[in-house]
Structure formats: C-alpha cells, structure tokens
Amino acid sequence: MGCCSLFVIQRIESFDPHERTDLDYTSEAGWYEKEGCEVGSLRWLRHVSLSDVDGVKLALLEQEKADRGERAWAFADPVRVAQESLRPYFENQTPVLTKVRKIPGRQVFRWRAGNKVVIVVVARPYWLSFYAKSDSVAWVSTMVKEGECQ
C-alpha cells in the first residue's frame, strides 16, 4: 500500500569503519546526557544536530575559524569551548565547570549556581571531519540546557 517504503536499502556497496578515537560518531549530539537533577525541569538553550541548520552552520563556522587559526585553541581546550558557548546566556559571570563525563570525542560539563544547573556538551562530531582542512576536528558545543534543581 506504499505506507512505509519511502526509504529502502537494496545493497551496501562499501562501509567506512569508525576507527578514530578522537571523534564522536553518535548522531544525537548530547541529547540524552544526564542533567544531574533528580527533580526539576530543564529547558534547551542550544542543541546542534544534523537537522538543526543554524547549529550546523555555527559548528562549520567554528571549525573554519579554528582551521584559520582564529580559534586554534578549540582543537585542544574543550573547557574553554564550553565556557565560550555559555557567554551569550550568562555574560556577566565566569562559570566554573565540573567535568561530569568524558568519552571519546565528547565531554560533558556541569555548572551549578545556587539551585540553577547548566549542562554543556562539547564534541568533535564525525560529520565535521569532512569539512576540516586537516585531520584536526575542533571541539564544538553541541548542547546547552539549563534549569532549576531542588
């Protein structure tokens, strides 16, 4: 009846193995990271996925700046990337971030200010490697969310 056959794979001709340990091969960009709150609700401030056109454009721009040397620190300093991603939301504060989780190609940070908690995920997304001028992929912020914890 044509209900569910919009995309059908007939044959796989090649497969690229995921061998690099410095990249995040997931597609969810931090969507499922734990907030560190048992009670409370969080709101998204920023989330970058392949369907998020503005977020992808920003990640590409950040990679280009790193490749040109304007943001060369983004290749080696995920903490600074996380702090810089918070600047538009918390201009007059310098957040002290705690690393919550580290896996290959992704780091998760938390900032607590009173009963407010902010979660920042930075990653080296696999898809960004196709746009990098060299083998170096910059750390980019893929998700920021904040809320109240009780």
Query: Rounded distance, CA 72 to CA 23, Å?
Result: 17
59 vs 9, higher pLDDT? 59
Per residue in 111-144, pLDDT (tens digit) is: 887 777 888 899 999 989 999 999 899 999 988 8
Beta-carbon contacts of residue 126 (< 8 Å; ≥ 6 apart): 18, 20, 23, 24, 25, 105
- Which amino acid, 71? R
Per residue in 22-76, pLDDT (tens digit) is: 999 887 766 666 655 544 444 555 555 545 667 788 889 999 999 999 999 999 9
Q: What number of other Cβ atoms are within 10 A of residue 42's Cβ?
A: 16
22 vs 94, higher pLDDT? 22
* Token pair belonging to 76: 């080696």
State how far the alpha carbon of 30 is from the alpha carbons of 34, 92, 124, in Å: 9, 26, 12
Residue that has been written with the tokens 């989330």 in this structure: 47
pLDDT at 17: 75
Give the residue extent of every domain in the chain: 43-148
